[in-house]
C-alpha cells in the first residue's frame, strides 16, 4: 500500500486513479481533497492516504486527528465556566480523549490567531462557548474536517452551524411568573449584555410574562448589566435608590444576583423579607449564598456534555450540520423570594 514504491507511477496518477484505488467516486475524492463533509471517516482516511502518497496533499497536512477535544471560552468566569468544563471533561475522558481548554478573543468570536493553533493541534473536535465563528474560521475548520459545535451561542448562529443552547426565554418566563405568583408587580431587572442572545431571550421572557399577567413594565426598573457581580451591585443600588423601589429583582444571572445581595446589605434591606431576588444559571455556590438563591437551573454541564457527544457522533456518522438543540430550564426554589405582602406589612 505504498504507492511511492511504484516508480514513475506518480507521473501518471490522477484523481481518477486515486478514486479507483480507493474504490470511491471522483466526487468523493474531490470532497476529501477540499475538506468537504459527507464522507465516512474511514473512507476519508483511505482517500487522504492516497492523496498524500501521490503528492496531492503536502506531508504534514495529512490531517491526523489528535485525541483532543478543545473547549474555547471567551472568559474563565466563576461558576458557569466550571460547570461547562465538568460536563465536557467527563464525556471526553470516558471516550479516551483529553480536553484542551483555551481562552480566546472577546465575547463573540475566537481571536484570529486561535485558528492557527487549532489547525496545528488537529483536535478531534471543537466546542465553542458563548461564541460565534467567523466565516473564514468556519471555512478553515471545515477544510480540515475539524467539526465544531457552539454552546450557548452569543448570536443567532448560521443555519449550517450546529449549536446546543438552553431555553432562555422560557427561563425568563419561569422566573417572572414565580415573582408574579408571590404578588410582586414592581419587579426590577438587571438585564444581561444585550448583544448576547441568552440575555436578550431572558429579558424578553420577563416582558412576555408581565404582558401575559397584564402587569405594566416600569421601564425605569430595567437596568443594564454585564453578567458580572459588580454590575449586579451597581444596578441593584440604582434600583433600590428609586423613590418607588422594586419589591423584587430578576437578576438574570447568579453573579448579578450576588451583586444585588450586596446592594441590599449595604442599604440594610433584608432578602427576602424586604426584597425578593431571583438569579439565573444555578451555579454551585448559588445554593450557598446568604440566603440561598432561588434561581433558574441552566443545564450548563449537560450542554457541554451534549456538545462533546455530538462531536463524537459526527466522527462516527459524519453528519453534524443543521443540528440545533435547546435543553430545558427549570425553577429552583430556595430562600431568596417571599410574598410581597410581607413587605407591605412592615
List contacts with a copy of itself (CB under 8 A).
66-68, 70, 76, 78-79, 81-82, 85-86, 89-90, 93, 96, 98-103, 117, 120-121, 229, 258-259, 261-262, 265, 283-285, 288-292
- As a whole number of angstroms, the longest Cα–Cα distance in the chain is 96
Q: Tell the smallest beta-carbon distance from residue 54 to a copy of itself (Å).
A: 21
CB nearer to a copy of itself: pick between 68 and 208: 68
Closest approach, Cβ 293 to a copy of itself, in A, equals: 11
Is residue 206 a contact partner of residue 250, using CB atoms and an 8 Å limit? Answer: yes
**Residue 70 contacts residue 117 (beta carbons within 8 Å):** no
Please, which residue, 269 or 327, has the CB nearer to a copy of itself?
Answer: 269
C-alpha cell at 267: 442599604
Smaller CB distance to a copy of itself: residue 165 or 236? 236
> Do the strands 330-332 and 295-297 form a parallel or antiparallel pair, or are they unpaired?
antiparallel
Closest approach, Cβ 297 to a copy of itself, in A, equals 16
Spell out the alpha helix ranges (H) of 23-133: 26-33, 41-53, 80-94, 114-121
Output 119 or 215, the one with its CB closest to a copy of itself.
Answer: 119
Least distance in angstroms from the C-beta of 140 to a copy of itself: 17
- Secondary structure letter of residue 144 according to DSSP: T
Q: Would you say 195 and 154 are in contact if contact means Cβ atoms under 8 Å apart?
A: yes
Phi, psi of 124 (to 5 degrees): -60, -35
Q: Which is nearer to a copy of itself, 150 or 304 (CB)?
A: 304
Q: What is the DSSP letter of 74?
A: S
At closest approach, how far in Å is the CB of 276 from a copy of itself? 16
Amino acid at each position: 500500500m505504498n504507492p511511492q514504491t511504484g516508480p514513475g507511477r506518480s507521473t501518471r496518477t490522477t484523481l481518477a486513479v486515486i478514486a479507483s484505488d480507493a474504490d470511491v467516486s471522483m466526487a468523493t475524492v474531490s470532497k476529501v481533497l477540499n475538506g468537504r463533509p459527507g464522507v465516512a471517516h474511514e473512507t476519508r482516511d483511505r482517500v487522504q492516504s492516497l492523496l498524500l502518497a501521490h503528492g496531492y496533499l503536502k506531508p504534514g497536512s495529512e490531517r491526523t486527528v489528535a485525541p483532543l477535544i478543545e473547549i474555547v471560552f471567551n472568559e474563565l468566569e466563576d461558576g458557569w465556566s466550571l460547570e461547562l468544563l465538568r460536563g465536557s471533561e467527563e464525556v471526553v475522558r470516558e471516550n479516551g480523549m483529553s480536553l484542551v481548554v483555551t481562552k480566546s478573543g472577546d465575547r463573540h468570536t475566537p481571536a484570529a490567531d486561535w485558528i492557527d493553533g487549532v489547525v496545528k493541534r488537529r483536535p478531534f473536535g471543537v466546542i465553542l462557548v458563548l461564541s460565534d465563528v467567523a466565516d473564514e474560521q468556519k471555512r478553515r475548520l471545515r477544510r480540515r474536517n475539524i467539526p465544531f459545535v457552539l454552546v450557548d451561542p452569543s448570536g443567532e448562529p448560521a443555519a449550517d452551524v450546529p449549536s446546543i443552547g438552553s431555553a432562555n426565554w422560557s427561563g425568563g418566563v419561569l422566573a417572572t411568573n414565580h415573582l408574579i405568583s408571590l404578588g410582586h408587580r414592581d419587579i426590577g431587572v438587571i438585564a444581561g449584555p444585550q448583544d448576547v442572545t441568552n440575555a436578550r431571550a431572558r429579558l424578553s421572557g420577563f416582558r412576555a410574562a408581565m404582558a401575559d399577567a397584564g402587569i405594566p413594565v416600569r421601564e425605569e426598573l430595567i437596568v443594564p448589566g454585564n453578567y458580572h457581580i459588580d454590575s449586579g451591585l451597581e444596578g441593584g443600588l440604582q434600583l433600590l435608590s428609586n423613590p418607588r423601589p422594586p419589591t423584587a429583582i430578576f437578576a438574570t444571572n447568579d453573579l448579578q444576583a450576588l451583586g444585588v445581595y450586596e446592594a441590599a446589605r449595604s442599604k440594610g434591606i433584608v432578602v427576602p423579607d424586604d426584597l425578593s431576588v431571583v438569579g439565573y444559571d444555578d451555579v454551585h455556590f448559588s445554593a450557598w449564598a446568604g440566603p440561598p438563591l432561588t434561581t433558574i437551573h441552566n443545564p450548563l454541564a449537560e450542554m457541554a456534555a451534549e456538545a462533546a457527544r455530538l462531536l463524537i457522533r459526527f466522527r462516527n456518522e459524519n453528519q453534524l450540520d443543521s443540528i440545533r438543540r435547546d435543553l430545558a430550564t427549570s425553577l429552583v426554589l430556595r430562600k431568596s423570594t417571599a410574598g410581597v405582602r410581607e413587605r407591605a406589612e412592615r
